[in-house]
Amino acid sequence: MASVKGANITNMDSVPAVNVSSEEAGGKLRVFHDTYEADTLASGSDITIARIPASATIHDVVLKCDALGASVTLKVGDADDDDRYIGVTGTWNVAGQTQSMLSGSSTGAPVAAVTGLGYRTSAQTDIVITTGGASASGTIFAWVYYSVE
């Protein structure tokens, strides 16, 4: 049996200690929560759900939705990468389904690798949902968890 340490614990236990970013250990986690009530929102529409400050580290993006429609897809990104946080997901035909960067879909649908985990913003950044597939109707709840020091 082995006893090992993660990268940040290794740095903290080094002599002399190596500083660990406060966004990775001991920092303050913040949340931006928003909702949008879609009423036959056209496919290809963008919904801005958060405005994150410069030098923030994104830890998770969570969507929870009403039944939006059988063919509706959603993806979450920013101006530089339209699916940085959540790739195109088409599981929005039953109320209460969720999608998260960290845990994937509540339906067990496969989730592609997420490039946005631990992404650090270089400027103020709007987080945007893009609809696809069909017109969407229903409530979309969104949470963006990030740290900034």
Q: What is the pLDDT of residues 123-141, one digit of tens each?
A: 999 999 999 999 999 999 9
Interval 61-96: pLDDT, tens = 999 999 998 899 999 999 999 999 988 887 677 788
User: How is 27-81 classified by DSSP, letter by letter?
Assistant: --EEEEEEEEEEEEEPTT-EEEEEEEPTT-EEEEEEEEE----TT-EEEEE-SS-
